[in-house]
Amino acid sequence: MSDYSYETVRLSQSGVVARVTLHRPDIRNAFNDTMIGELRHLFAVLRQEAELRVVVLTGAGSSFCAGADINWMRKMLAYSYEENLEDSMALADLMREIYEFPRPVIGRINGPAIGGGTGLVAVCDIAVAVETAVFSFSEVKIGLVPACISPYVIRKVGERHAREFFLTGERLRAAKARSCGLVNQVVPPEELDEEVGRYVDTLVSSGPCALSTCKQMIRDVPLMDLERAGPYTADMIARQRVSDEGQEGMSAFLQRRRPSWWIESESEEDSWVDESSGTFHDD
């Protein structure tokens, strides 16, 4: 992986898994224009890493992300409309770039996620939060709105929950964030890395191109009527079947072996094809 130095974020890699850490622990990883720019650059770099399979996004210290940096907000008071628009577009572009990133992104939510920090949770494909995490769309409390993050939050939790959360600005405990679909799992702090690792292990046993295509399918299909969705999805599976990955995956299935992309963790128990049913079993 290319060597870049960042002021507000950290990047590390172990095998096919990259870890992106928001690194402003003294101010609970609040973001500003510098962090937004560095995250955009970092994810652009990761996009070019052919061997990369999964990205884990987390925060340094005891917080995930406290939202906008107060000093950055002070600067906004003097911004013109044009300057505010440019500033806001950078944040909107960052959210879209993470949401559309071609590999799975797991949110390791190690503490509070407030405002735009909750938006970062929403653009992750899978989010695992500690029991002590809290979430809030608090923008209305200071006369603003959660605009740039709203497309992703609404997709994740639905309009009913978004109306409640956006309008009240209430703080959500981790259990409620899970019940509405904002996060996938809630665990004690000491189990956070184990649960994130379980998702990583599951993802690296699947076809990399298939995962990327699944992400595209999940984004696109809900926006289509059935007349468009039929040909679109038929073309998608046909292309996947004739691809090198699809050919390898189907051959491995029929030959009762693991495909070439499979990476087994040390803790993973055996998986096999049931000879009577022709299906995979994971125990």
d(CA 273, CA 282): 9
Q: In the chain, what's the furthest Cα-to-Cα distance? A: 70
Residue of 56, 212, 43 lying closest to 127 (CA atoms) = 56
Q: Which of 162, 183, 60 is CA-nearest to residue 111?
A: 60
How many of the other CB atoms lie within 10 Å of CB of 86?
Answer: 12
Distance CA 45, CA 97 (A): 12
**Numbers of helices and strands, H then E, in the chain:** 10, 11
Is 268 assigned a catalytic role?
Answer: no
Tokens representing 200 are 């990583």
**Residue with tokens 């992104």, as numbered in its chain:** 105
Using a 10 angstrom Cβ sphere, with 0-12 exposed, 13-18 middle and 19 or more buried, the burial of residue 84 is exposed
* Parallel/antiparallel/unpaired status of strands 271-273 and 280-282: antiparallel
Q: Would you state the structure tokens that stand for residue 215, as one six-digit string? A: 């992400």
Which member of 51, 100, 139, 194 is catalytic?
139
Radius of gyration, alpha carbons of the chain? 20
**CA-wise closest residue to 73 among 144, 10, 136:** 144
Supply the residues annotated as catalytic: 139
